[in-house]
Amino acid sequence: MSAKLPDEERTDAEMKVAWLRATTETRAVLRQASAAWAKHSCPGTAECCQLAVTKRPPWLWPSEWKVMEARLKRDGRGVPPARGDGACPFLDSEGKRCTVYEDRPLGCRTYFCHRVVGPAKLPGGETNAALDRLRALNVAVDDSAAPRSILEWVELGSSPPRGEGDR
Ligand code: SF4
């Protein structure tokens, strides 16, 4: 059985491979979460993306941020700047559409507001399981990994902590 090396003893290349694996697993977790919420929807007003108003920005584990970074890279886009109106930087200029919808984090897939439409029973168990899985796969790479607000990730975008900028 191989023991996990302390993070500081792993090379940058090993860290990169470990984060790549975690990012791939994260995509699967996000897909499962969306499937669990498939019977629910909302009017799609994007009010929940007006973060200065809601004061409830989504919090992302590093691997969730990496999923978004990889999306930006595929699209040939950089990390968007903070917006003057305090909305999520990933909201389109008209304030109606998420520009990374397919790769949005778990917190943006769970219909946490009163506008949710669908079965009365919400998939709380599946959502908690997804949260637990995200925590486990991030901490498995980096003991000190922790979630950050999407606004903080955007701010850090150009100078991520060691290993967190690899895609
Ligand atoms: S990532 Fe997309 S869905 Fe989530 S808050 Fe930002 S714009 Fe809205």
| Residue 1 falls inside a structural domain | no
Residue 74 falls inside a structural domain: yes
Assigned domain for 67 exists = yes
Look up the pTM and report it. 0.89
The average confidence (pLDDT) of the chain is 90
The answer, yes or no, to whether any atom of ligand 1 lies below 6 A from the CB of 130, is: no
Q: How confident is the model at residue 44 (pLDDT cuts 50, 70, 90)?
A: confident
**Residue 143 is assigned to a structural domain of this protein:** yes
Cα(159) to centroid(ligand 1), Å: 22
- Residue 18's pLDDT band (cuts 50, 70, 90): very high
Q: Whose CA is nearest to atom 8 of ligand 1?
A: 49
Whether residue 49 is contained in a domain is answered as yes
Give the pLDDT confidence of 132-161 residue by residue, as tens digits.
999 999 999 999 999 999 999 999 985 444
pLDDT of residue 5: 61
Q: How many domains, in total, are found in the chain?
A: 1
Cα–Cα distance, 79 to 69 (Å, whole number): 8
> CA 98 to CA 44: how far, in whole Å?
10
Residue 6 confidence (pLDDT):
67
Owning domain of residue 49: 11-156
pLDDT of residue 158: 53
Check if 66 has its Cβ closer than 6 Å to any atom of ligand 1.
Answer: no
Ligand 1 atom closest to Cα of 91? 7
Q: Check if the beta carbon of residue 161 is closer than 8 Å to that of residue 24.
A: no
Q: Are 68 and 100 in contact (CB under 8 A)?
A: yes
Which of the pair, 118 or 161, is modelled with greater confidence?
A: 118
Note whether residue 4 is domain-resident: no
Ramachandran quadrant class, 163 (left: phi over 0; alpha: psi -120 to 50; beta: rest): left
C-alpha 58/C-alpha 141 separation (Å) is 22
| Ligand 1 pocket check for 49: Cβ under 6 Å | yes
* 75-106 confidence digits (pLDDT tens): 999 999 999 999 999 999 999 999 999 999 99
Instruction: Say how many Å lie between the CA of residue 123 and the centre of ligand 1.
Output: 20
Which of left, alpha, beta for 126 (phi over 0: left; psi -120 to 50: alpha)? alpha
Please check whether residue 19 lies inside any domain of the structure: yes
Reported as a single tens digit per residue, the pLDDT across 30-41 is 999 999 999 999
- pLDDT for residue 115: 86
